[in-house]
Amino acid sequence: MHVSFDISMKRKDILRLELEVVRSEHRDLDNAITDFGEIPSSDRLTLQRLKKRKLLLKDKIFYLEDQITPDIIA
């Protein structure tokens, strides 16, 4: 019983670290999109790709958060 608890704790620690990394990347991408959008001659296709990547990261953030703290059915 103690072994499964230790493994679970390690898994949650890994998920928390991954969540931190993904949130950081999402923040950096948000800043890049803002900066890129201020350039008048910016490439629209590149801007769309950056926004799509940001949405994918947002989905991953929600997934990781759900894995760390799953819904409890009461």
CA distance 32 to 27: 9
Mean pLDDT for each consecutive 10-residue tract of the chain (74 residues)?
62 94 97 89 89 97 91 68
47 by Cβ neighbours in 10 Å (0-12 / 13-18 / 19+) ranks as: middle
Interacting residues of 36 by C-beta distance below 8 A, sequence separation 6+: 42, 46, 47, 50
Task: Determine the pLDDT at residue 1.
Answer: 45
Task: Determine the pLDDT at residue 25.
Answer: 97
Q: Is the pTM of this model over 0.85?
A: no
Task: Determine the pLDDT at residue 65.
Answer: 94
What angle do helix axes 2-37 and 44-68 make, rounded to 10 degrees? Answer: 160
Q: Is the dihedral of CA 32, 34, 39, 44 positive or negative?
A: positive
